[in-house]
Amino acid sequence: MPREITAFSNPLIKRMRGLRDKRHRREEGLFLAEGLRILTEAREEGHLPRFLFFTGDGAEHPLLGALIEATETAGGEALKTSADILSKLSGKDNPGSVVGVYDELPTRLSLLDRTAAPIWLVAERLRDPGNLGTILRTADAVGAGGLILVGECVDPFSVEAVRASMGAIFTVPLARTEWGDFLSWLRSGPGTLVGLSLDTDHDYRGPDYPAPTFLLTGNEAQGMPDSYADACDLLVKIPMAGKADSLNAAVATAVMAYTVLDKQRRD
Amino acid sequence: MPREITAFSNPLIKRMRGLRDKRHRREEGLFLAEGLRILTEAREEGHLPRFLFFTGDGAEHPLLGALIEATETAGGEALKTSADILSKLSGKDNPGSVVGVYDELPTRLSLLDRTAAPIWLVAERLRDPGNLGTILRTADAVGAGGLILVGECVDPFSVEAVRASMGAIFTVPLARTEWGDFLSWLRSGPGTLVGLSLDTDHDYRGPDYPAPTFLLTGNEAQGMPDSYADACDLLVKIPMAGKADSLNAAVATAVMAYTVLDKQRRD
């Protein structure tokens, strides 16, 4: 039987609110996700929260009931609370009826199996949590093997990134690494590294993209360093017809990823 | 010679800060844009600010000097101010060295010339300002004739939308209208209406997209109403390989827009 918390001053609530801060997240090794649909998808993938905060009595929606039961069975705690507290936890006006607190997922490069998928996404020094979450969502949609974050990227477990991922944080393998380590790992097996660049004449529609292709997207403002571009097997450019000289990083990644998918399917 | 404002309590500063609020924007008919590069691009497109706020003395950067001069020549006012005030105006920690206040741009559907471009973007009930700005940026990149906003969309002149557009707010024609008016206008001349949908078997790579093609993207959470889908000449689907059932709206729009561009170029 779930206990009920209605006070903002409750120590657990205070601790969980702290998870919106990166330092606290790192100390606790926990992160927040919200929304019944996303938490249900997480459950179907085998991810259950340590703490599940919900409003209502859990009986009115079968999916919520199932989530509460599964959480408790797995040793987590389900806690009934108010809409106000839920909203404080997520920092959102309408967080839905449920917020889950999960163990951070593993992000070691060595856990990735490059033979598992024909396409992989790689982003270096990604700064915007919305872009990171959106790229995770795209990674899921194209069936990418995972997203590899290189260098000082924004935290993939931030509330904003998790929200933008629309559940893909639970379904897409993630790795965090440094450039040198990434390159060593990449060159220790098969893989074509394709960089998105503005400084090339190769149109993105031209090449074939042998599996596994690793698509590298550079920092939002600066693109990738020259030395990273030099290490790519191929640089490709998405044509710009207007006044702007670049696309949003998540958009460019998606246009490329769907092109790779399309080319690989034709082969 | 620009005057200097250093007090937060200055009435003009207070009024300009109000522009971050939708109601004030509508009353004033003004909006904010930031960043030397974007304001310079706006100048090149013939858009000069009514008020230009800058830090420094304007002499250290030739582009800033040119912007100040052009603003004053056109009857606008250039005002030297502090980094703190600039940051308050834009609501951003690092707003760069300059913020411009512009007259809202015209958004009447009747101003659009459909023969001007082979591809047009249409979004209905778009709710996220970042998505709106990103779609504008993509519209510029694919050489779209413009972006048509249908129904209750987020304000394209919000600081967040303008920022995400990366200057495309000044280069991409914009219209705001209702569905019935849009459809009457569309059917009064040539044009193929293509809707992005999850409820169709037509893969987005299959069809030809005759010019002018109007690409319709539905609301982020709900997609488009059935009656809108029924009014489309064609519904197409972007395949989903993973667990997720949809892409971010700006991402889906961009994947489609680049596909249309690619297909039209092959013809």
Res. B236 pLDDT band, cuts 50 70 90: very high
- Determine the distance in angstroms separating the CA of A158 from the nearest CA of chain B, rounded to an integer: 18
Chain A contacts of B134, Cβ < 8 Å? 248, 250-251
Question: Span B123-128, mean pLDDT?
Answer: 97
Give B22-46 pLDDT, tens digit per residue: 999 999 999 999 999 999 999 999 9
Confidence of residue B168 (pLDDT cuts 50, 70, 90): very high
Residues of B in contact with A36 (CB under 8 A): none
Mutate to test the interface with B, among A128, A162, A196, A243 (most CBs of B within 10 A): A243
- Using a CB-CB cut-off of 8 Å, the residues of chain A touching B258 are 238, 255, 259
Q: State mean pLDDT over A250-265.
A: 97
What's residue B61's pLDDT?
87
Check CB contact under 8 Å for B255 and A254: yes
A79-88, A124-133, B153-162: range with lowest mean pLDDT: A79-88
Whether A209 and A264 have beta carbons less than 8 Å apart is answered as yes
CB contacts of A172 in chain B (<8 Å) are 242
Mean pLDDT, residues B124-134: 97
Residue the block writes with tokens 């082979």: B118
pLDDT band at A266 (very low <50, low <70, confident <90, very high): confident
- Answer whether B251 touches A (CB < 8 Å): yes
Residues of chain B in contact with residue A255, where contact means CB-CB under 8 angstroms, are: 254-255, 258
What confidence tens digit (pLDDT) does each residue in A22-64 have?
999 999 999 999 999 999 999 999 999 999 999 986 667 899 9
Q: Cα-Cα-Cα-Cα dihedral of A108, A109, A111, A114, to 10°? A: 160
Question: Measured between CB atoms, which of A167, A244, A248 is closest to B244?
Answer: A167
CA distance B196 to B121: 11
Q: Does domain A3-103 bear CATH number 1.20.120.1810?
A: no
Tens of pLDDT, residues A63-110: 999 999 999 999 999 999 999 999 989 888 776 789 999 999 999 999
Question: Are B167 and A140 a contacting pair at CB < 8 A?
Answer: no
Q: Give the CA distances from residue B32 to residues A58, A219, B15, B95, in Å, rounded to whole numbers and listed in that order.
A: 46, 25, 12, 11
Nearest by CB: A142 against B241, B248, B250: B241
Percentage of chain B exceeding pLDDT 70: 98
Average the pLDDT over each of A161-175, B57-71, B164-178 and give the range with the smallest value. B57-71
Res. B57: pLDDT tops 80? no
- Which of B169, B248, B259 to mutate against chain A (most A CBs within 10 Å)? B248
- Which residue carries 């889906």 as its tokens? B252
Lowest mean pLDDT among A135-144, B87-96, B102-111: B87-96
Rounded Cα–Cα distance for residues B254 and B210 (Å): 18
Extents of the domains making up chain B: 3-103, 109-266
- The closest of A142, A134, A158 to A209, measured between CA atoms, is A142
**In this complex, is the C-beta atom of B59 within 8 Å of any C-beta atom belonging to chain A?**
no
- Asked if residue B50 lies in contact with residue B101, where contact means CB atoms within 8 angstroms, the answer is yes
Q: Over chain A, what is the mean pLDDT?
A: 94
Q: Check residue A58 and give its pLDDT.
A: 64
Name chain B contacts of A258, Cβ cutoff 8 Å. 238, 255, 259
Tell me if B63 sits within 8 A of B36, measured CB to CB: yes
Contact B255 A258 (CB under 8 A): yes
pLDDT (mean) for B49-77: 90
Q: Please enumerate in sequence order all residues whose Cβ is within 8 A of that of A146, keeping only pairs 6 or more positions apart, or say none.
A: A112, A117, A120, A121, A139, A172, A173, A174, A175
Flag whether residue A59 sits within 8 Å of chain B, measured between CB atoms: no
| DSSP reduced 3-state for A79 | strand
pLDDT at B95 over 80: no
pLDDT, position B1: 66
Residue B92's pLDDT band (cuts 50, 70, 90) = confident
The residues, any chain, with a CB within 8 Å of residue B138's CB and separated by 6 or more, are A247, A248, A251, B121, B144, B250, B253, B254, B257
DSSP code of residue B195 = E
Arithmetic mean of pLDDT over chain B: 94
Instruction: Collect all residues of chain B within an 8 Å Cβ-Cβ radius of residue A138.
Output: 247-248, 251
The residues, ordered by sequence, that sit 6+ positions from B253 with a Cβ below 8 Å of its Cβ are B121, B123, B135, B138, B196, B215, B217
Taking an 8 Å cut-off on Cβ atoms, the answer to whether A251 and B134 are in contact is yes
**Residue A66, pLDDT score:** 94
Residue to substitute from A166, A248, A263, interface B, most B β-carbons within 10 A: A248
Using CA of residue A144, residue A146, residue A151, residue A154, what is the dihedral sign? positive
Give B2 to chain A, closest Cα distance, Å. Answer: 30
By the CB < 8 Å criterion, does A138 face chain B?
Answer: yes
Q: Residues A203-231: what's their mean pLDDT?
A: 97
CB contact under 8 A, A140 and B261: no
Q: Does the pLDDT of residue A19 top 70, yes or no?
A: yes
**Average pLDDT, integer, range B221-243:** 96
Residue A240 in contact with partner chain B when CB distance is under 8 A: yes
Asked whether the beta carbons of residue B137 and residue A238 sit closer than 8 angstroms, the reply is: no
Integer angstrom CA distances of residue A109 from A129, A184, A196, A216, B170: 21, 11, 22, 15, 43
A244 pLDDT above the threshold of 90: no
Q: How far is A5 from chain B (nearest CA, A)?
A: 30
Q: Please report the beta strands in B128-258, taking only residues with DSSP state E, as ranges in sequence order.
A: 147-150, 174-177, 192-196, 213-217, 234-236
ipTM attached to this prediction: 0.94
Residues 6+ apart with CB under 8 A from A62: none
d(CA B39, CA B53): 11
Q: Tell whether B106 is within 8 A of chain A (Cβ).
A: no
Contact A247 B254 (CB under 8 A): yes
Share of chain A above pLDDT 90, in %: 85
- The pLDDT of B61-66, averaged and rounded, is 92
Residue A223 backbone phi and psi in degrees, to 5: 70, -165
B205 touches chain A (CB under 8 A): yes
Whether A1 shows a pLDDT value over 90: the answer reads: no
Q: Which CATH class is domain A109-266?
A: alpha beta
Q: Give me the percent of chain B exceeding a pLDDT of 90.
A: 85
pLDDT at B97: 85
* Interface subset of B 153-172, CB within 8 angstroms of A: 164, 166-168, 171-172
CA-nearest residue to B205 within chain A is A262
Cis peptide before B210 (omega within 30 of 0): no
Q: Check: CB of residue B200 under 8 Å from CB of residue B237.
A: yes
Tokens of A160: 């904003």
